[in-house]
A and B are shown apart, each in its own frame.
Chain A
């Protein structure tokens, strides 16, 4: 049986998605942390959607740090499975499912987990503003079905803003949800167990979009969030339940909203959560005593176990 001492970790980052820049930062941060933990680490900035030919499944354990697109929609995971690599994070089915916000909601709702109502439409033929307002209320958020990091997020506080937002949509699948003006929280999940609850408060009072997410100082974070113990338990239970319901493995981050009426609703599951200096998963893990290098080790740990099993299989 192979051990982690005989392997090296190959961190994959970059690729060609809209979140390429964030992926490069995440990849470097993970690589640095794993080096601190004593791993031999190679980092690959992928220009496109091809795995480097130099990688060897008998020697390299993969850490996909690719956000969005091929890296997060199950594409790279399927390629890694096909070539016999052990890798960190969710498999292709769970990755594909969690990248599709609508299908994820369907699974979560079926499992009895709380989600917001939504309307699905295409950018080519969007729903009318009046129809959306009738179904979801006058304040609405529009987002692409298969993008992360708040990319393409449109907020509409009234019907004219909604009509204007609908005119800006690019082709593709979009969804509209009620804009719940509650507290926004995020929970890391490691090995199926929910970590600490992080509260996110964008300083400008708007919602947590791409700019707020990756610009230092634009958002305040409180971790662990100041919440009633029962609500914390409910949030963690929902996060762990979502992780299990979607068939995730190793790690993920679950984003939730706390409506003013009480309880929580699940917004989405990120199967390759950001690990930049301002990212949420390290903050959530720190509530449970994880330093960033220890978190990185915990994230790659199950993949090393799978590597050992694959290597031992005749």
Chain B
């Protein structure tokens, strides 16, 4: 029905034809303020709920990764793995056992400084880096000493024990070295080991870098001769830089007998002396000479000590 139809015949208008429309936000200022406060309340509640939900999810996930909350409060990171590297022969299994590292131990309670010192005290380890890699890894990186000579030394308890001497002179017990390698390390003679003042081991042997250099040069330039060196005699070795006389002797080098090398450079460097040795050794072999020793310590010469006349030129009656 149209609005005009609602006008009566007397011309009177009904209340129903009065426009009843009102705007949706037709609120008083106070009502609007109340509505805003209500909406803000709902928003805050929703945001807080979402935050709690996210935090709970993060906490659950983190708890799976490692940290646990102990009864006392602080986070406890258990040791999950040891990441071990070395340039030598020691193994991760040895490190775990020697340092008493067990999976599950609290990572933060591991005294890395004490462990490092314990490793260095073996003297086989020359450098040790230990650090935590949270959440659960302990990194151990070692540098080790390698044997130049070996020596049987009095343990102080009535017995003898094998020790190794490194290039820097450090004397160490030698853990995990393969027999094949040890069998090729010459024995040291002619120089006594001295116990360190704290009794924990032996004082370093001075001048071992010269011995190491000689052995390395000989193994490179005269490998078949050097392979026969079982003992290195340091009885006349003087490690002082300005020493007037300093000799390294090899008491027995196969058929060549005793070899003598100079360390003062008066007779040339080791490469020169080893080259002379190689040349004379070939000559000795070619001429079937029986020799008791070769001395390379005299400048520009090699002294050949003959054991007897050459087999081919011996006079017979």
Q: Mark A123-134, 1 if CB is under 8 A from B, else 0.
A: 000000000001
Q: List residues of B (107-164) whose CB comes within 8 Å of A's CBs.
A: 144, 146-147
Q: Mark A153-197, 1 if CB is under 8 A from B, else 0.
A: 000000000000000000000000000000000000001111000
Q: Which chain A residue lies CB-closest to B217? A: A237
Given known A-B contacts A245-B184, A246-B180, A110 and B146 have beta carbons under 8 A apart: yes
Minimum distance in angstroms from B303 CB to a CB of chain A: 25
Decide yes or no whether B241 CB sits under 8 A from chain A.
Answer: no
The interface centre, meaning the residue of A106, A109, A110, A134 with most chain B CB atoms within 10 A of its CB, is A110
Is A111 touching B220 in the complex (CB atoms < 8 A)?
Answer: no
Contacts of A106 in B (CB 8 A): 89, 178
Is A110 touching B227 in the complex (CB atoms < 8 A)?
Answer: no
Decide yes or no whether B310 CB sits under 8 A from chain A.
Answer: no
Q: Which chain B residue lies CB-closest to A193? A: B223
Is B220 touching A237 in the complex (CB atoms < 8 A)?
Answer: yes
Decide yes or no whether A247 CB sits under 8 A from chain B.
Answer: yes
Is A107 touching B181 in the complex (CB atoms < 8 A)?
Answer: yes
Contacts of B224 in A (CB 8 A): 191-193
Q: List residues of A (75-128) whose CB comes within 8 Å of B's CBs.
A: 97, 106-107, 109-112, 114-115, 117
Q: Which chain A residue lies CB-closest to B185? A: A111
Is B88 touching A110 in the complex (CB atoms < 8 A)?
Answer: yes
Decide yes or no whether A135 CB sits under 8 A from chain B.
Answer: yes
Q: Mark B208-233, 1 if CB is under 8 A from A, else 0.
A: 00000000100111011011000000
Given known A-B contacts A112-B146, A193-B223, A135 and B177 have beta carbons under 8 A apart: no
Contacts of A10 in B (CB 8 A): none
Cα distance A78–B130 in the bound complex, in angstroms: 45
Cα distance A62–B279 in the bound complex, in angstroms: 31
Decide yes or no whether A220 CB sits under 8 A from chain B.
Answer: no
Q: Which chain A residue lies CB-closest to B84? A: A135
Decide yes or no whether A63 CB sits under 8 A from chain B.
Answer: no
Minimum distance in angstroms from A56 CB to a CB of chain B: 30
Contacts of B167 in A (CB 8 A): 112
Contacts of B236 in A (CB 8 A): none
Q: How many residues of B contact A (CB 8 A)?
A: 24
Decide yes or no whether A26 CB sits under 8 A from chain B.
Answer: no
Decide yes or no whether B87 CB sits under 8 A from chain A.
Answer: yes
Is B180 touching A107 in the complex (CB atoms < 8 A)?
Answer: yes
Decide yes or no whether A149 CB sits under 8 A from chain B.
Answer: no
Q: Which chain B residue lies CB-closest to A93? A: B180
Contacts of A243 in B (CB 8 A): 223
Contacts of B226 in A (CB 8 A): 244
Cα distance A246–B223 in the bound complex, in angstroms: 13
Cα distance A245–B177 in the bound complex, in angstroms: 12
Cα distance A204–B85 in the bound complex, in angstroms: 33
Decide yes or no whether B272 CB sits under 8 A from chain A.
Answer: no
Minimum distance in angstroms from A253 CB to a CB of chain B: 15
Cα distance A244–B226 in the bound complex, in angstroms: 10
Q: Which chain A residue lies CB-closest to B222? A: A193
The interface centre, meaning the residue of A115, A191, A236, A245 with most chain B CB atoms within 10 A of its CB, is A245
Q: Which chain B residue lies CB-closest to A246? A: B180
Q: Which chain A residue lies CB-closest to B215? A: A241
Is A191 touching B89 in the complex (CB atoms < 8 A)?
Answer: no
Q: Which chain A residue lies CB-closest to B182? A: A110
Using a CB–CB distance below 8 Å, which chain A residues touch chain B?
Answer: 97, 106-107, 109-112, 114-115, 117, 134-135, 191-194, 233, 236-237, 240-241, 243-247
A97-B180, A245-B181 given; name 10 further pairs at CB < 8 Å: A110-B177, A112-B146, A114-B87, A135-B83, A192-B224, A192-B227, A194-B220, A233-B220, A245-B180, A247-B180
Using a CB–CB distance below 8 Å, which chain B residues touch chain A?
Answer: 83, 85-89, 144, 146-147, 167, 176-178, 180-181, 184, 216, 219-221, 223-224, 226-227
Enumerate 22 A-B pairs (CB-CB under 8 Å) in ascending A order. A106-B178, A107-B181, A109-B88, A109-B144, A110-B176, A110-B178, A111-B146, A112-B146, A115-B87, A134-B83, A135-B85, A191-B223, A193-B223, A194-B220, A236-B220, A237-B219, A241-B216, A244-B226, A244-B227, A245-B181, A245-B184, A246-B180
